[in-house]
Amino acid sequence: MTEPTLQMASVSSGLAKRHKAEKRFRFMALASVLLGLIFLAVLFINVLTSGADAIRQSKVRLDINLQTNDFGGSKNPDIQQLKNANYQGIIKRTVYKNFPDVKSRRDKRALYRLVSSGAAYELRGFVLDNPSKIGTSISIWLTASDDVDMIMKGKVSRTASSDLRRLSDQQMGWLEKLETEGNLETKFNWTLFSSGDSREPELAGVAAAMVGSLYSIIVCLIISFPLGVMAALYLESFAPKNRFTSFIEVNINNLAAVPSIVFGLLGLAVFLNFFELPRSAPLVGGMVLSLMTMPTIIIAGRVAIQGVPPSIKEAALAVGASPVQAVFHHVLPLAMPGVLTGTIIGTARALGETAPLLMIGMVAFVVDVPKSILDPATALPVQVYLWSDMPEKGFAERTSAAILVLLAFVGLMNLTAVLLRKKFEIRW
Amino acid sequence: MFEPDQKKAELVPQTRNWRERAIMLALLAASSVAVLTTVGIVASLIFESIQFFRIVPFTDFVFGLHWSPQMAIREDQVGSSGAFGAIPLLVGTLLISAVALTISAPVGLMSAIYLGEYASPKMRSIIKPTLEVLAGIPTVVYGFFAVVVVAPLLRQGGESIGLSVSSESALAAGFVMGIMTIPFVSSISDDAISAVPSSLKEAALGLGSTRSEAIKNVIVPAALPGIAGGILLAASRVIGETMIVVMAAGLTAKLTLNPLDAVTTVTVQIVTLLTGDQEFDSPKTLSAFALGLLLFTITLALNVTALKIVKAYREQYD
């Protein structure tokens, strides 16, 4: 009789300790989950707050008098005169007129530096679009320089030393005068989405990189989707069980785990050096990415095809369809949602891939939006990498903005994949 | 009444057969692209590496303790003979990977345990996909975050306790990589844990063990091969990871095991050697392919071992 109670006592004496250990363990497990979630939150908040600043850009309003003699004296100048007019001179003249008390050449130069060097191109673009305005006075918002932009957004304190501010006290005075007169404001930054790379942060945009990414992804899909689906069909429906088949399977599984940079080395050695395809071109980028994406598509495709019950294929065969007809007419359409899901996820990963593109030279400084898949181009993630290395403060917020654009596309694709899977999921 | 057209009945299957054979060949060709890719990778890496080893002896590369891949522009230049010893790069890679795995292995496993054993189904259905987002973020974003947020934080933290932390420390790159691979470890561990039959757990609970005791003494040991395989796969992923280290780790090769120092990795060197304009047959660019071969061999070995472990030690409960 005494024995069991003694045992009970020894059990219950340890119980409190064991329950404490249980609580501790549970807390550690929860903490692990929270660590990942907190990191994710901090990352998103950091990128969002930093990137949001790049949505706006400081602009200066100038009332510019477009005199006819700026364009060779005629009211209807020809296109060459329009293109070659001295727009920088026109802007300088206007700026100096607004500040008549600025006399010395040095001060004048400092004054003009408040306006971005790209302002002349903006004015040129405006005049080319509206040649009828020549001879009249126009009011136009032109991009302010990066240093002004940083002050306006509060990234650099107005009271900081002029070294840190990169603007002299005199320039600050002009800036504040423009501001109080309502001629200096932050406006929506169209440049960010319409132009290519630039050495000046206020003129840099992601358009060229976006088009480069788009071209690469299209090339990647055109190659990897049909090949991937065909390989999955073959391995799952037709392949004889022999050594060669299992060799292919081992190959595919290993390729899925090869570091992406190795694919870049392959592209460099084979596509660029052996086949002498153009460097920095989205065509080669897409080809390299397709080799990386294909294993993902094949693996996802096989799972989707496995999910179609054999009775469907057997029924098709029984009414006289050939094996190929049974698979292409009945199995493949039913497996398509799964195949597409895998394809989208693989493509989203390819979109975010940077390292292999560095290997084949898609790190070029690309100002113009590429017009074909053979033009030198860069891609969105590569643009992020390039901007993150720039010393100017203005590039920091643009890097975050480029990241936001990239994350938006990647997120959208993954979301589509999830929705697709939910919508077309069939339970047999 | 209705006479089937004998001729036609024969003709259709014949063209069909011919077409089907063509289709089958096309399918086989598509499957072979994967083999071709592997062959292409191995051939190009080995071909360029052989050229490299003609200039730099193989033993110098594999056992050399010094890495400084400058080549002379002039014959008589000081320090004209570059050093191509891969050991410092390997040590740097392993150091950063070790930091990453000390974070992702326990955190990933514990996350999987929480989601599988403690979280309610509803919570699990929200948290699991959210954690998976970590795996979907492009690595260049992690690299930027490591440079802008993590490295300065570690530096400040180190200064406040009197440690000098390099701004390109192995710790910063490793930490971010560790976070990146959490979902990787956790989803594979999750699969391994849910493959353990619930009767084992129920037996342990029925004998009076607490949940954590059942997990620690019954479930995790039973799922260990799967978990170990997952960690090896994560290791292979971390070793081959490029952008995070290119942005957040250093460029100069240093033989050290201190995670607060700046080290460089195999992938960083491949990128630095091959971006920019170089002539293609200089030992400098060729060495990148030798490093690529090294990287390919290591990751392949890890992957194969991981798959073998999972296959060989999987407990059969049927």
B178-189: burial string, b at 16+ Cβ within 10 Å, e else:
bbbbbbbbbbbb
**pLDDT value, residue B281:** 66
Task: Indicate whether A341 and A235 sit together in one domain.
Answer: yes
**pLDDT value, residue A223:** 96
**Optimal mutation site among A20, A39, A387, A416, interface B, most CBs of chain B within 10 A:** A39
pLDDT over 60 (residue B74): no
pLDDT over 90 (residue B43): yes
Inter-chain touch A381–B138, beta carbons under 8 Å: yes
Task: Indicate whether A98 and A168 sit together in one domain.
Answer: yes
**pLDDT value, residue A405:** 94
Task: Indicate whether A273 and A368 sit together in one domain.
Answer: yes
What is the distance in angstroms between the Cα of A5 and the nearest Cα belonging to chain B? Answer: 17
**pLDDT value, residue B276:** 65
Task: Indicate whether A365 and A317 sit together in one domain.
Answer: yes
Task: Indicate whether A138 and A232 sit together in one domain.
Answer: no
**pLDDT value, residue A416:** 92
Pairs of residues, one from chain A and one from chain B, whose beta carbons lie less than 8 Å apart? 249
Can you tell me the mean pLDDT for A70-99?
A: 84
Lowest mean pLDDT among A197-211, B195-209, B279-293: B279-293
**pLDDT value, residue B12:** 56
pLDDT over 70 (residue B81): no
Task: Indicate whether A281 and A392 sit together in one domain.
Answer: yes
C-alpha of B84 from chain center: 24
Inter-chain touch A358–B271, beta carbons under 8 Å: yes
Higher confidence at residue B75 or residue B162? B162
pLDDT over 60 (residue B73): no
ipTM, interface predicted TM-score of the complex? 0.89
Q: Give the whole-angstrom CA distance, residue B257 versus residue B259.
A: 6
Lowest mean pLDDT among A110-114, A307-311, B46-50: A110-114
pLDDT over 70 (residue A48): yes
Higher confidence at residue A250 or residue A8? A250
Confidence of residue A14 (pLDDT cuts 50, 70, 90): confident
Task: Indicate whether A189 and A212 sit together in one domain.
Answer: no
Can you tell me the mean pLDDT for B163-167?
A: 83
Gyration radius from chain A CA atoms:
31
The 3-state DSSP class for residue A86 equals coil
Q: Give the whole-angstrom CA distance, residue A386 versus residue A358.
A: 11
In a domain, A179, yes or no: yes
Can you tell me the mean pLDDT for A252-280?
A: 91
Higher confidence at residue B58 or residue B80? B58
Give domain B83-312's CATH architecture. Orthogonal Bundle (1.10)
Task: Indicate whether A260 and A314 sit together in one domain.
Answer: yes
Task: Indicate whether A169 and A95 sit together in one domain.
Answer: yes
What is the distance in angstroms between the Cα of A40 and the nearest Cα belonging to chain B? Answer: 7
CATH code, A312: 1.10.3720.10
Q: How many other CB atoms are found less than 10 A from the CB of residue B83? A: 16
The sign of the torsion formed by the CA atoms of A366, A371, A375, A379 equals: positive
Of A200, A226, A248, the residue that ends a domain is A200
**pLDDT value, residue A260:** 94
Count structural domains, chain A: 2
In a domain, A324, yes or no: yes
Q: Are A245 and A234 in contact (CB under 8 A)?
A: no
**Which pair of structure tokens corresponds to residue A197?**
């790379």
Of A170, A200, A230, the residue that ends a domain is A200
**Optimal mutation site among A354, A365, A403, interface B, most CBs of chain B within 10 A:** A354
Task: Indicate whether A160 and A82 sit together in one domain.
Answer: yes
Give yes or no for B175 touching A (CB within 8 A). Answer: no
For residue B299, give the nearest of A248, A258, A291 by CB distance.
A258
Higher confidence at residue B78 or residue A394? A394
Can you tell me the mean pLDDT for B139-163?
A: 91
Can you tell me the mean pLDDT for A196-221?
A: 92
What is the distance in angstroms between the Cα of B176 and the nearest Cα belonging to chain A? Answer: 9
Q: Are B91 and A13 in contact (CB under 8 A)?
A: no
pLDDT over 70 (residue A235): yes
Reported as type and span, the H/E element at residue A58 is strand A56-65
In a domain, A398, yes or no: yes
Q: Are A249 and A235 in contact (CB under 8 A)?
A: yes
Task: Indicate whether A174 and A280 sit together in one domain.
Answer: no
Q: Can you list the alpha helix ranges (DSSP code H) found in chain B?
A: 6-55, 58-63, 87-113, 121-136, 139-145, 151-160, 170-195, 198-206, 211-214, 220-240, 243-248, 266-274, 283-312
**Residue A276: domain span:** 207-424
Reported as type and span, the H/E element at residue A169 is helix A169-180
**pLDDT value, residue B165:** 84
pLDDT over 60 (residue B11): no
Confidence of residue B257 (pLDDT cuts 50, 70, 90): confident
> Euclidean distance between the first and final Cα of chain B, in Å?
60
Can you tell me the mean pLDDT for A117-126?
A: 88
A198-235: burial string, b at 16+ Cβ within 10 Å, e else:
beebbbbbbbbbbbbbbbbbebbbebbbebbbbbbbbb
Can you tell me the mean pLDDT for A219-244?
A: 93
Q: Are A282 and A369 in contact (CB under 8 A)?
A: no
In a domain, A3, yes or no: no
Inter-chain touch B211–A37, beta carbons under 8 Å: no
C-alpha of A371 from chain center: 18
DSSP of A338-393: HHHHHHHHHHHHHHT--HHHHHTTTB----SPP-STTS--B-HHHHHHHHHT--SH
Of A200, A215, A239, the residue that ends a domain is A200
pLDDT over 60 (residue B7): no
Beta bridge partners of A185: A59
In a domain, A306, yes or no: yes
Q: How many other CB atoms are found less than 10 A from the CB of residue A394? A: 24
pLDDT over 80 (residue A286): yes
Confidence of residue B10 (pLDDT cuts 50, 70, 90): low
Above pLDDT 90, what percent of chain A? 44
Inter-chain touch A266–B216, beta carbons under 8 Å: no
**Optimal mutation site among A43, A206, A345, A409, interface B, most CBs of chain B within 10 A:** A43
Inter-chain touch B138–A295, beta carbons under 8 Å: no
In a domain, A28, yes or no: no
pLDDT tens-digit series, residues A143-155: 998 888 888 888 8
**pLDDT value, residue B252:** 81
Residues 61 through 100 of chain B touching chain A, CB cutoff 8 Å:
none
In a domain, A14, yes or no: no
In a domain, A157, yes or no: yes
Task: Indicate whether A174 and A229 sit together in one domain.
Answer: no
Q: What is the mean pLDDT of chain A?
A: 89
